[in-house]
Structure 1
Amino acid sequence: MAVQPEGTPCWADAMFSDVEGAKSFYGDVLGWTFGEASSEYGNYTQAYADGKAVAAVVPPMPGQEGQSAWCLYLASPDVHATAQKITVNGGEVLMKPMQVGDFGSMLIARDPSGVVFGVWQAGVHEGFEAKAVPGAYCWAEIFTRRPEKSDAFFPAVFGYGAKQLDDGAIDFRLFDLGEEPVLGRMKMTDEFPPEVPPYLNVYFTVADCDAAVAKATERGAILRFGPMGSPFGRFAALSDPQGAPFSVIDIRTTEGAMPETIDVS
């Protein structure tokens, strides 16, 4: 796998107080299998879809117990340089650049609107071994109440181009690298309770959206939105039994015409 362009979503992981419960839930809903926990790295445990590494779960470090959430990592050729750009552009580095053995280097940051994300400089671990196949990462969207903050920050740090959806009903933007869309940005409306913080919503691919939702809710997940058809696939938003938001999408079942966009780079 070639080194991924700066700003490409390249990995996702989540902290769970009940790791075994998370493994059981996602194993059932997404068909994941799991490797051995790495005691050297805080019992970090990789998840696999059809033998390909697609995500990881880990127990919280002491003092970091709290709401479970998925963290999306964006590729960087130099995490130290990215950390500087984050700070210069009004973001906050929550976890300073850290070497993770020969796997690579990472940091955790927050954009000026409150969205938490990771940055990954690949070593031997280059990131997702599969995308857009059942069980694997497919897409992600920044959900924020202050879109103007995110809209300025992410292109400044990662060099994204931007296209705004030409639709007065919703405030949605696409960030791209060249012609390749890599992230969405959605303005959070009043439908989101005030206690829900801004976040990065990660979409995992499934073969059948409705079946995945049925399995997830049977296992204790809460359905937040959908299932709904779209030109990109049939999708639904959920919170897992430990409160981590995520979405599932069947990209083979599409509906309607692709929306018009306006270049706002």
Structure 2
Amino acid sequence: MAAFARSAPCWVDVQLPDLEAGKRFYGELFGWTFRAGEGPYADAFSGGELVAALAAKQDGRMPTAWGIYFATDDIAASVARIREAGGQVITEPVRSGRAGVLAQAADPGGAVFGLWQAGDREGFQKQNEPGSFCWTEVHTRQKDRVDPFYEKVFGFQGTDLEPSGPDAARTGPDGSPPIGFRMWSPAGTEPGPDTAVGGRSVITDAFPAELPSYFLSYFAVEDCNRTAGNAVRLGGRISAPPFDIPYGRMAVLQDDQGAVFAVLQPPVSENGAE
């Protein structure tokens, strides 16, 4: 299991009202298999490799949503930086058995994310391949507060881009035009699309004021159109129909319990390789 660079996305999980229904949906959609974890929790595997987890909500007030976690080698220091940068710590660092230590926080715009300090579990065993995580981005109305927050907390270097790339889901559920996207590259790398691990998008006034800031995570798929159709067949919904972007073809979907996620089909090169 490979170690993750500091501040890299390293894990995703989803909180659902009905865990068994979630296993049926994602098992058929992505071909995942499951292994029971501690408590109401199921680890998801793609081709025998760990890719995500599903959890039964313990509190009905919790959102039905996918959550993203960023790697840290010092969770106490990361939590301190979050507070210093104007964020809010929702869950103080807590040990998850021998697997590691986790915490949850919100940025100044209210988007929630997690921190993970690895123990026996580093995080994903597979990513950027069909059936696994490939990208994440925060959608916010407060970019002038949020940009310096992530740069201070995670050391991200920002690259402002014209609307293109795997960030295109920032068009939102109604497909309104995207604006103001920034890609994040880890500290010590050359900023740009080749090194980016995530990004920030702007929620415009075209969306209802009650829409909160949020993270949208993507999963790689072999066929975007087919995956979107299968999601509907399984009881889910299409929030943004499949469309082409420079990084392939993508769609924004909801599962049959309302959790939102995106799928991305990588482009095929002239020689037929992705």
**TM-score, structure 2 normalization:** 0.87
Q: Could you tell me whether the CA contact under 8 Å between 1:33 and 1:48 is conserved in 2? A: yes
Among 169, 172, 183, the residue aligned to 1:174: 183
The code of the aligned residue for 1:236 comes to A
Indicate whether 1:16 and 2:12 are aligned: no
How far off its partner does 1:190 sit? 3.2
Q: 1:19 to 1:26 in 2, by over 3 A?
A: same
Match of 2:222 among 200, 207, 219: 207
Partner of 2:261: 246
Residues 159-168 or 194-203, more deviating: 159-168
In the alignment of these two chains, the number of paired residues is 251
Distance in 2 of aligned mates of 1:46 and 1:191: 37
SS of 2:196's partner is strand
Match of 1:106 in 2: 102
Q: Percent identity, please.
A: 38
Query: Compared with structure 1, are the counterparts of its residues 222 and 170 closer, same or farther at alpha carbon in structure 2 (3 Å cutoff)?
Result: same
Cα shift readout 1:124-145 (whole Å, capped 9, x = no counterpart): 1000000111110000111111
Secondary structure of the residue aligned to 1:25 is: helix
Q: Which deviates more, 158-167 or 118-127?
A: 158-167
User: How far does residue 205 in structure 1 lie from its aligned partner after superposition?
Assistant: 0.7
CA distance in 2, matches of 1:16, 1:220: 15
Distance 1:125 1:136 in 2: 17
Q: Which runs of structure 1 show a deviation greater than 4 angstroms over 4 or more consecutive aligned residues?
A: none
Any idea what the Cα deviations from partners look like across 1:214-253, whole Å, max 9, x if unmatched? Answer: 0001122221113011111100011222111100110134
**Are 1:69 and 2:65 matched, yes or no?**
yes
Match of 2:241 in 1: 226
Structure 1 match to 2:232: 217
**AA in 2 matched with 1:207:** E
Secondary structure of 1:26's aligned partner:
helix
Pick which of 158-167 and 48-57 moved more. Answer: 158-167
Give the superposition deviation at 1:162: 0.6
| Structure 2 residue aligned with 1:190 | 205
C-alpha distance after superposition, 1:60-108 (max 9, x if no partner): 12x3544300010000001111110001100001000001111000000
Return the alpha-carbon distance in structure 1 between the equivalents of residues 39 and 208 of structure 2. 33
For 2:52, the equivalent position in structure 1 comes to 55
8 Å CA contact 1:113–1:145 kept in 2: the answer is yes
AA paired with 2:26?
Y
The Cα offsets for residues 160-196 of structure 1, whole Å up to 9 and x where unpaired, read as 1110014696110001011310111110123433332
Pick from 101, 118, 129 the counterpart of residue 133 of structure 1: 129
For 1:147, the equivalent position in structure 2 comes to: 143
Q: TM-score, normalised by structure 1?
A: 0.90
Counterparts of 1:28 and 1:206, CA distance in 2:
13
CA distance in 1 between partners of 2:47 and 2:61 (Å): 31
Shift of 1:4: 1.5
Contact 1:76–1:121 at 8 Å: present in 2 too? yes
Q: Rate the CA distance shift 1:127–1:175 in 2: closer, same or farther, 3 A.
A: same
Contact 1:67-1:243 at 8 Å conserved across structures: no
Task: State the distance in 1 between where 2:46 and 2:57 align.
Answer: 24
Cα distance in 1, alignment partners of residues 178 and 134 from structure 2: 25
Give RMSD over aligned pairs. Answer: 1.8
For 2:158 and 2:68, the matched residues in 1 are separated by 19
